[in-house]
Amino acid sequence: MQGRWLLTAFCLVIAVMLLFPISLLAAGVGIAPRELEFNAYLGSSANETLYVINTGDSEAEYEIYVDEEYKDWFDIAPSEFTLVPTEVKEVEVIASPPLLSHGNYAIRIYIIAANPSLQLGVGTGVKVPVQLHIASWPLYVAIGMVVLLAALAAFLVWRRSRVH
């Protein structure tokens, strides 16, 4: 008797699934390249291009952003867009670190895809590793030039005062 009830329940579940298919219409994210590397100098910016691909089976809305700590360092255009399946979007990423920053930074860019027809607020995402290298040698060259010019000016003033 219990085996018959279990078989009936199983058949009922299969029938419901066939009559009312559930389609998740998954959103997918593909990227190229897998990581970005920026080389910048003090007071300059560096550009890289990121390609976002809809690898899902339905239209998806995409949002791209960077770690909160570094959001003022990056300009991402476009940062929001919609793609149909297999469509590719070229995204320009510009790194403009603050003037007095230097060194190497490990940052992440986040790409989130969501299906606009689903009301669940569910999506998928990718983290893109970013290496930002900021060379400080231009600062040292500039300081050296200022010191050299100051020394030259001091020498010329001293020499002029000895002549008179």
Residues 120-163: tens digit of each pLDDT: 556 788 999 999 999 865 556 666 677 778 877 777 888 788 77
* Domains defined along the chain, listed by start: 24-136 (2.60.40.10)
Residues 11-28: tens digit of each pLDDT: 555 554 444 443 334 468
CA–CA separation, 37 vs 95, rounded Å? 10
pLDDT greater at residue 20 or residue 64:
64
- 146 burial via Cβ count (<10 Å: 0-12, 13-18, 19+): exposed
